[in-house]
Amino acid sequence: MKRIASFEVNHDLLTPGMYTSRIDGDITTYDIRMVRPNGGVYLQPAASHSFEHLFATYTRNSRFAAHIIYCGPMGCMTGFYFLVRDLPPADAIALVQESMAFIAAYEGDIPGASRIECGNYLLQDLEGARKIAASMIPVLDGWTEADLVYKS
């Protein structure tokens, strides 16, 4: 089979940040790397799950809601995929920055974390999700379109 584009990126060179993974017509896939790949520290499932609920809820309720396609964790547990349609990169960066601030400060019930709404509703860690988001705030501070390019 043909190798997919994401396997062409040298993961030993990746650092936390927000990067353009691919552009398919009007859809852009961003990689939001939260920990260094193969670095021995990974996102914990319960914290990642809570982060996902909060990230998806925030972005789908933002002023850019109509542009959001998907927000979800990477299987390698180093970050999240963020897919948008027809959203300028500067707006995508701003939305991710706003999302991190929202999640880092969030208090209350996790949206969608009930048996009826979620297939694994007990796997939640709000404090862990808040720590993930808080760790990304300084990383993304001042992030620009030029920073969206993976360094090789």
pLDDT tens, N- to C-terminus, the chain (152 residues): 988 777 878 888 899 999 999 999 999 999 999 999 999 999 999 999 999 999 999 999 999 999 999 999 999 999 999 999 999 999 999 999 999 999 999 999 999 999 999 999 999 999 999 999 999 999 999 999 999 998 76
Q: What are phi and psi of 44, to 5 degrees?
A: -80, 140
Residue 22: how many CB atoms within 10 A of its CB? 13
* Amino acid of residue 2: K
Q: Which residues, other chains included, contact 143 with Cβ-Cβ below 8 Å and sequence gap of 6+?
A: 17, 18, 93, 97
Dist CA 134 CA 75 (whole Å): 21
**Could you tell me the end-to-end alpha-carbon distance of the chain, in angstroms, rounded to an integer?**
25
**Which parts of 1-152 fold into alpha helices (H)?**
45-60, 89-105, 126-140
* Amino acid of residue 63: R
Q: Which residues, other chains included, contact 55 with Cβ-Cβ below 8 Å and sequence gap of 6+?
A: 71, 80, 99, 103
Scanning the structure block, which residue is given the tokens 């914990």? 44
* The pLDDT value given to residue 91: 98
* The pLDDT value given to residue 3: 85
Look up residue 4 and give its DSSP letter. P
Give the pTM. 0.95
* The pLDDT value given to residue 4: 79
